[in-house]
A = this chain, B = another copy of it.
Amino acid sequence: MSDRPGPEATARLTRWEQRTEVPLFVAGLLFLTGYAVRVLAPHDAQPWHDISLALVWSTWLLFLADYVTRLRLSGLRSRFPRVHWLDTAVLLLPLLRPLRMVQVYQAVQRRHDRPRLDLYARVMAYAGMTAVLLGFAASLAVYHLEHRAPGASIRTFGDAVWWACATLTTVGYGDATPVTFWGRVVAAGLMACGLALLGAVTGSFSSWLIQVFAREDEKRPPERG
């Protein structure tokens, strides 16, 4: 939040970020697709395995190149990882990339003159989409980590998606739960992020509904009897 670089460096960095945001988001979706193919394809399906590996590594190298470019443009040197800690985390754990979606969203909005949606609808759309993408990434990771564990209750990808739905909405039936250490770490991360995101969806929906009902009162002539 402090340790800000000079205005020129900031301007260069902003220009770079505006130009690369959407391509990087597409790369993020490709990364997720590659990881999904890697996890879901049968283990002896050689071509798919190679394609997925190529996708995952090439997109990750793209992320690394972007990170290094921004580190050099920013002029922050060794303080960059500390100041841009979310970017550093997203580089190391590319499955967290959906968390950067608010920037993508802003980059897309900038090209339109006005927002096409109401404030609350935008918050709902952003938080809901991020939650869905994070839930999908967590389903893949948990399926990957769990499906061969002894005593696992998440044995198919369908189970993993079902588990992610029940976790994100905090319903938590408990019929499918991770049992390995890393599966539980992923689950704890999903709970923390999902709770905040779903809270934002719920809060915005509630505010939007109250707004709709309040507006309706104003349209009505105040006294008619």
Contacts and interface: CB of A to CB of B under 8 A. Distances in A.
A220 interface: yes
Given A102-B212, A119-B214, A169-B192, A205 B199 contact: yes
Interface residues of A, number: 57
A181 B158 contact: yes
Interface stretch (A20-28, A49-57, A87-95, A171-179): A171-179
B200 A204 contact: no
Interface string A109-123: 100011111011011
B214 A206 contact: no
Contacts of A158: 181, 184
A165 B171 CA distance: 11
Interface of A is mostly: helix
Contacts of A207: 203, 210
Nearest to A212: B102
Contact of A173 (B173, B181, B205): B173
Max chain B Cβ within 10 angstroms of own Cβ: one of A109, A119, A172: A172
Nearest to A112: B220
Interface of A: 1-2, 102, 106, 109, 113-117, 119-120, 122-123, 126-127, 158, 162, 165-167, 169-175, 177, 181, 184, 187-188, 191-192, 195-196, 198-207, 209-210, 212-214, 216-217, 220, 224-225
19 contacts: A106-B216, A109-B216, A123-B206, A123-B209, A123-B213, A127-B209, A165-B187, A165-B188, A166-B191, A170-B172, A173-B173, A195-B198, A196-B201, A199-B201, A199-B203, A200-B202, A200-B209, A203-B210, A207-B210
